[in-house]
Amino acid sequence: MNTLSIVVPAFNESAHLGECLDALLEQQEHIHEIIVVDNNSTDDTAAIVLDRRRRFPMVTLVAEFERGVVHARNAGFDHASGSIIGRIDADTHVGAGWAKSVLDFFDRRLDYAAVTGPIYLYDSPWAAPYRAFVKYTTKRKPDELRVSAASGNNFAIRRSAWEAARDRVSVRTDLHEDIDLSLCLYRVGLRIAQIKSMCVEVSGRRLLTPPLEYRHYVLSSYRTWAFHNLAGKSLRRLLVADMVLHTVHWPLTRMLSTCDSRILPVSHSGTSVTPDRHLSAIREDRFAAASGK
């Protein structure tokens, strides 16, 4: 029988973490452990975790002192003891039946290594239209659909698949760690599914990111696909459209929103960052060197 460990990387997430943990704890009968990885927080993040742990021993606090979501993710995944490892953000609210749907999927589909599901917004002026859009597009798709990449705010992976990809994932903080892991799974022939029953809500605070900062976020997406030599013209057009749309709606979103902007989960300064002009030159040998093949 599969067991489910949940990993929640967190950096200064006291405003959201309590509700995230409470939503998980409502499904504790299907969860083996909840691991919050504190990535050098200076607020009450650790205190919130310890408060829940006093009442629910299944909650664990792990400290990761090297800054970066990828380092927190790796520490949590390595610490997990369940046969299935779930991964969400500290501002994620899992939907009713989320944990059970994850376990049911992996019990039923032995041919998949990882799974994701629909993502809605809360605390955003665009939450209602975005929910309607996601429901409309999801309704037109099969209940189970193979995808090439999954978002880290709604993700679960077999521990055996993580162990197979562990030495291949990059620790660069200027890449999107969730896309990188997804593409590492792809590299070794492991499949990711999207299922309709695995629903979550996430904060809309990313939409408040100033356009120039958001550009770094989008470029990191392109950089990650290019790192795996999988970036093309279609991806470039899609990301440019995303940046333009964000720039257009950002002034109104800032006026209407009641939440604060979110810290970018990727870095865009320092020696670890590959200059954008060099992205097209990244080849398979660079991937091999970074992943340790």
CATH number at residue 133: 3.90.550.10
Q: What does each of the 293 residues of the chain score in pLDDT, given as a tens digit?
A: 999 999 999 999 999 999 999 999 999 999 999 999 999 999 999 999 999 999 999 999 999 999 999 999 999 999 999 999 999 999 999 999 999 999 999 999 999 999 999 999 999 999 999 999 999 999 989 999 999 999 999 999 999 999 999 999 999 999 999 999 999 999 889 999 999 999 999 999 999 999 999 999 999 999 999 999 999 999 999 999 999 999 999 999 999 988 777 766 777 544 344 333 333 332 333 323 333 33
- 226 and 264 assigned to the same domain: yes
* 210 and 179 inside one domain: no
> Given this model, what pLDDT does residue 205 score?
92
Total structural domains within the chain = 2
Same domain, 118 and 143: yes
> 204, 230, 248 — which closes off a domain?
204
Residues 39 and 98 in one domain: yes
Residue 163 Cα distances to 54, 83, 158, 185, angstroms: 31, 11, 9, 11
- Domain C-terminal end among 204, 232, 264: 204
191 & 106 share domain: yes
277/138 same-domain check = no
Please tell me whether residues 248 and 235 are part of one structural domain. Answer: yes
The answer to whether residues 182 and 213 belong to one domain is no
Instruction: State whether 39 and 184 are in the same domain.
Output: yes
Final residue before a domain boundary, out of 138, 173, 204: 204
Pair 233, 153 in one domain: no
Same domain, 84 and 22: yes
Range of the domain at 29: 4-204
> What are the strands, taking DSSP E only, across the chain?
4-10, 33-38, 59-63, 84-87, 93-94, 114-116, 119-122, 144-147, 155-158, 192-195, 200-203
What percentage of the chain has pLDDT greater than the value 90?
85
pTM equals: 0.89
Mind listing the pLDDT tens digit for each residue in 50-102? 999 999 999 999 999 999 999 999 999 999 999 999 999 999 999 999 999 99
What integer pLDDT is reported at residue 170 of this predicted model? 97
Query: Across the strands, what pairs with 147?
Result: 192
Do 104 and 221 lie in one domain? The reply is no
